[in-house]
Chains A and B, each alone.
Chain A
Amino acid sequence: MRAWTLLLGGLVVWTAHFLALYGVASIFPGTTIANWLVLPLTLVAVAALIFLLRRSVVQMASRDSLDRWMGRLATLGAAISLLAVVWQAIPALAR
């Protein structure tokens, strides 16, 4: 279970961030409240991703070859999620 959590953690964070953003935009449509809420949500997501990245980078130095491989995959997953989270936040923060 821990292996899966690390492997998919980054993408799960992206999903949670996306749904949270969709949620606030739907609950406060057409107001700036949603825009303001995006910033803290994004900071939380980025912090979670950095935490995951540190864990997965450590695992990349493991002695077991499969652990190393999974660590690298987890790192890549967290990295692409970081990119997607930042993109996700641009619409709200750009104005």
Chain B
Amino acid sequence: MLEAWPPPIFDPAGPYAWPITTLSWVLLAMAAAVLVLVVVALWLALFGSQRAQAKVGGTKIIWMAGIALPVVVLTALLLYGLWLTSSLSDEIEGDEMRVRVTGEMWWWRVAYLDDEGQPVSHDANELHIPVGQPVVLELESGDVIHSFWVPRLSGKLDMIPGRRNLMRIQADEPGVYGGQCAEYCGGPHALMGFVVVAHEPPAFARLMIERTAREQAPAPGAASQGAELFQTTGCAACHRIAGTDANGLAGPDLTFMGARRTVGAGILPNNTGTLMGWIGNSQAIKPNNRMPPYPVLSREELQAITAYLEMQR
């Protein structure tokens, strides 16, 4: 989840974020200095001595402060901004790790790609990356326009139907970084978050190996009551769990639901209570999301499904 303090824009955690933080401080200082200048000039114009007023009250100040100064400041800023823009959007080499992230109403589909660009592992609303190396994200949309934004790692980039935008992120420290959809996408756009989890490279490599293997293996808990309910009550129509008959694609992939940090696309911490509440009536938590409420399920049945999902790690 996005933590608001310290403001993430001023708390960068990677090489695609900290140059923008530096830029932000420079811009704030520039804005403050110009504002002081204007207010002082205005003060002198209204309340200054006759001499000061005579100085301010002519076309000279327009030429100096209204034209010459902006031209100098803006030229400098323009060069700085152009240099920074192009250095942050250097050519993508092609040998970076790639992940496809697809914006959906109102969650995120995640697919880790191999060297050929084929998905090897599926997930949702959570993105795992190794520390210290750039990861290229292929941003796409499944419906309307969304925008992918992890402020501590990078600026935002839109996900537009019919297009594929490429973006790089990199974290320098292990940790969990909050993200949020930044383009209005209707309904509960406000509640469309996600997390990026950065691991040390060895731990990350291990995780990927485990997950890739898990995609090919049977799912745990196949004999449980929850597994049966998952099929019979309709969960499987929209959700996929690798290694089972559940292969719905309309909703988030649940193969690693038990390991996920959040429920409801980055809005609640994942624990038995929140997960159960979500399955029973997600509409009360995130109104107008696409998952219907299940008032028919008894408490025991909910517990069973929750337990089954918690086994999926």
Contacts and interface: CB of A to CB of B under 8 A. Distances in A.
Whether A and B are associated in the same complex: the answer reads yes
B71 A83 contact: yes
A5 to B, nearest CB: 25
Interface string B65-88: 000000100110011001100100
Contacts, number: 12
Contacts of B74: 87
A94 interface: yes
Contacts of B82: 90-91, 94
Interface in B47-80: 71, 74-75, 78-79
B78 to A, nearest CB: 6
B79 A94 contact: yes
A63 interface: no
Contacts of A87: 74-75, 78
A90 B71 contact: no
Nearest to A92: B82
A95 B86 contact: yes
**Majority DSSP secondary structure for residues of B touching A:** helix
Interface in B13-71: 71
Nearest to A80: B67
Interface size class of B (residues with CB under 8 A): under 10
A87 B82 CA distance: 11
A94 B86 CA distance: 10
A90 B86 contact: no
Nearest to B81: A91
Contacts of B71: 83
Interface string A74-95: 0000000001000100110011
A80 to B, nearest CB: 9
B72 to A, nearest CB: 12
A25 to B, nearest CB: 14
A95 B71 CA distance: 21
A91 B75 CA distance: 12
Interface in A18-53: none
A91 to B, nearest CB: 5
A95 B79 CA distance: 11
B308 to A, nearest CB: 48
A91 B82 CA distance: 6
Nearest to A91: B82
A55 B309 CA distance: 79
Contacts of B75: 87
Interface of B: 71, 74-75, 78-79, 82-83, 86
12 contacts: A83-B71, A87-B74, A87-B75, A87-B78, A90-B78, A90-B79, A90-B82, A91-B82, A94-B79, A94-B82, A94-B83, A95-B86
Given A83-B71, A87-B75, A90-B79, 9 more contacts: A87-B74, A87-B78, A90-B78, A90-B82, A91-B82, A94-B79, A94-B82, A94-B83, A95-B86
In the A-B complex, the 5 residue pairs with the closest CB atoms: A91-B82, A94-B82, A87-B78, A90-B78, A95-B86
